[in-house]
Amino acid sequence: MPIRILDKKLISQIAAGEVVERPASVVKELVENALDAGAGQIAVEVRGGGTSLIRIMDNGNGIASDEVALAFERYATSKIGSVADLGSIATLGFRGEALPSIAAVAQIDILTSAAGEATGTYISVQEGKVSVRKSQARPRGTTITVRDLFRSVPARRKFLKSVSTENGHIANVVSQYALAYPGVSFALFLEGRKTLGTAGKGRLIDGIVEVYGVEIARHMLEIPENDEAQVKVTGMIGSPSVSRSGRNYLSFFINRRWVNSRLLAWAVQEAYHGLLPQRKHPVAVLAISLPPSEVDVNIHPTKSEVKFQYERQVFTAVQKAVRQTLIAQTPVPRIEEVAVGYSNPSQQVEIDWSSAAVNRGAVGQAFEVARPLTVALPVLRVLGQLMSSYVVAEGPDGLYLIDQHAAHERVVFEQVREQRSKGEIEVQGLLEPVPFEITPLQETILKSHHQELVDFGFSLEPFGDRTYLVRSVPQALSGGDWTGALRELLDSDGGADDWAEKIAISVACHSGAVRAGQSLSDEEMRALVRQLEKTVMPHTCPHGRPTLIHLSSSQLRREFGRG
Ligand code: ADP
Ligand code: MG
């Protein structure tokens, strides 16, 4: 084929492909427009997974009658006017591409009424051209209806998934914006059924109840006031007891724009380090505000990724805010929470969440309880041992059951970590050097982390073919399984994890001094409890499992029917 310029219609369909990938992209663009128009109420209606119908109604500013047709021209926008404006964008839209892109791949009509105008305007756009235009009454705001999405673009239609999958993506978009804008009331109707509805009263927790349900909501912790340089982090994070197996429970809003960010996901993951079981992911809804001039939002056609001018600063601010919230607020699991969070689901305590009023009340209460609990353990008096595995102790407020093995892991973990940070690792020389054979893969990991292992007290010298001579190990492992610890470390992937933390965990886990099923003398139990009291985070073992369960005096009174 000779080179030639494509016809206009084809050009606009190609360009539309960048913005409108699937029905959820249309919903995202239209919801963003409604938010930019200052709407306090946004209703979204969807049929056929978005291919038959998408309708969005808002009560925002509307579009002036003489500008409505213009809004469908490519690069027509009311949001920026100069190159300088690009440097600090405060609106969600600015590229002037959404309406023309949608019009290129669907039938679209709009009914809008701007403040100060006597009547509204209706326009129907077919194949990118205005086909009907008339005056029509409407309260202030805009209704946009999109029909037959991708009918003219079979190539795109082919890649759509099932109606329920597309609806799932749409529900996610609306949910995310409902979380980002608690002050806006959202309603979503999928195939005629109301799927989501937020009150718009300005409280994030209401949105979390609606989007993630009561169970997660009652375990959310609020990030306290902080203002790290220019970066401010607000929102809520899940206590470690509500971890999830997928990463889909992380939401980030940069200056109220919903974005994907691997950098921030990593910052959150790091903050939870040592608090979550392996392969579990946290729940978090975080709004980050920073000067618009320090974020470039113009790096992605759908604006779903951004670039920070001071990446490190944002990373640190997020990690710190999350970590501090966790340290200050992680509650000792109480009996009810334990039943829900850690034990066999069939043994869950029954909780009556029947009415919405109860829901809200219960959520409020959970926070009341979670907040005042601090990190430190009170001084405990050891009463005895249960099943050779748990230490039973009394505190100022009731009974504590301590998992002796988990508690000991926490103690050793913190001791080793502290010794390492002071450069005072206690080392145990082996009576004679022990040859330690490793695989080629393990050898690459050993080579890249050799120094860290040495810093923790392992002495490993090359000794011929993939064999190393071990002359010393960390003192904490002397009665334990040091080969197990080394193998575990060398089998883990050598990724960017914090190796010092990883080594400390592995050493604690293989130190072996206190196991479950081992009877302890009173003296040993007292020593263990004293050591646990001194740790920074006594409530979880380094893997994130609880070290203790608290049964408060008031709970005991309640259980015994004493009021
Ligand atoms: P952008 O949002 O990037 O400006 P769009 O194509 O999404 O581009 O919209 C074009 C223009 O139409 C917007 O700049 C805005 O002025 C107007 N507009 C679109 N949707 C709405 C709405 N729901 N309410 C008020 N104005 C709107
Ligand atoms: Mg827009």
What pLDDT, on the 0 to 100 scale, is given for residue 367?
31
What's the whole-number average pLDDT of the chain? Answer: 85
Domain limit, last residue, from 296, 313, 329: 329
Shared domain for 540 and 402, answered yes or no, is: yes
pLDDT tens string 381-414? 999 999 999 999 998 888 999 999 999 999 999 9
Ligand 1 environment, Cβ below 6 A: 29, 33-34, 37, 58, 60-63, 71, 76-79, 93-99, 142
Task: Identify whether 341 is part of a domain.
Answer: no
CA atoms within 13 A of residue 477's CA, in its CB half-sphere: 25
Nearest-atom index, ligand 1, CA of 29: 7
Write the residue with the smallest CA distance to atom 14 of ligand 1: 77
pLDDT tens string 473-504? 999 998 889 999 998 898 886 665 678 889 99
Shared domain for 35 and 129, answered yes or no, is: yes
Question: b or e along 102-128 (b: 16 or more beta carbons within 10 Å of the residue's beta carbon)?
Answer: bbbbbbbbbbbbbeebeebbbbbbeeb
Residue 243 pLDDT class (50, 70, 90 cuts): confident
Cα separations in angstroms, 170 against 54, 133, 446: 10, 30, 46
Residue 208 Cα, ligand 2 centroid: separation in angstroms? 26
What pLDDT, on the 0 to 100 scale, is given for residue 482?
93
Say how many residues make up the chain: 563
Residue 47 Cα, ligand 2 centroid: separation in angstroms? 22
Nearest-atom index, ligand 1, CA of 80: 4
Query: How many Å apart are CA 553 and CA 563, to the nearest integer?
Result: 11
Residue 67 Cα, ligand 2 centroid: separation in angstroms? 15
Domain limit, last residue, from 291, 312, 329: 329
**Residue 312 belongs to what domain range?**
219-329
Starting at the edge strand that comes first in sequence, how are the strands of the sheet with 427-437 ordered? Answer: 427-437, 467-474, 459-462
Number of domains the chain contains: 3
CATH of the domain at 526: 3.30.1370.100
pLDDT tens string 42-67? 999 999 999 999 999 999 999 999 99
What pLDDT, on the 0 to 100 scale, is given for residue 333?
53
Shared domain for 308 and 237, answered yes or no, is: yes
Shared domain for 165 and 266, answered yes or no, is: no
Asked if the model's pLDDT at residue 536 lies above 70, the reply is yes
Residue 559 pLDDT class (50, 70, 90 cuts): confident
Query: How many Å apart are CA 106 and CA 160, to the nearest integer?
Result: 15
What pLDDT, on the 0 to 100 scale, is given for residue 431?
86
Which residues, in sequence order, are bridge partners of residue 47? 53
CATH of the domain at 285: 3.30.230.10
What pLDDT, on the 0 to 100 scale, is given for residue 185?
97
Shared domain for 448 and 523, answered yes or no, is: yes
Residue 432 main-chain phi, psi, to 5 deg = -140, 155
DSSP H or E stretch at residue 57: strand 53-58
Closest CA to 259 of 227, 307, 224: 307
